[in-house]
Amino acid sequence: MPLVAVLFYIIKVAVERSLAKKSLPISSREYLSLGYVDAEDGTVHPMSEKPARKSLRESIAEWREKRKSKKEDNGENK
């Protein structure tokens, strides 16, 4: 067997054992819509909704405003 395959198998078994020990799902599909895992009781909570992405125009405008305010704070006026 190639060395990489053996290493992959060992890591896979270790991760699966660790998840089973914490009573967490082992299947990767369970984590596709994962929002977070509660640290106190180990419950898995799904994502409620995807966060809204800003448009490129909004991101650039926000960057310009931050840059402008930094220049004003430093006493630079252009």
Instruction: State pLDDT tens for residues 21-68.
Output: 988 888 888 777 777 777 788 777 777 755 457 788 888 888 899 888
Q: Where are the domains of the chain?
A: 3-73
47 Cβ contact partners less than 8 Å away, ≥ 6 residues apart: 33, 34, 35
DSSP state of 75: T
Q: In degrees rounded to 5, what are phi and psi of residue 22?
A: -90, 5
Question: Per-residue confidence at 76, pLDDT binned at 50, 70, 90?
Answer: low
DSSP assignment of 20-64: HHTT---SGGGGTTEEEE-TTT--EEE-SSPPPPPPHHHHHHHHH
**Residue 22 near residue 38 (C-beta atoms within 8 A):** no
Q: Is the pLDDT of residue 1 over 70?
A: no
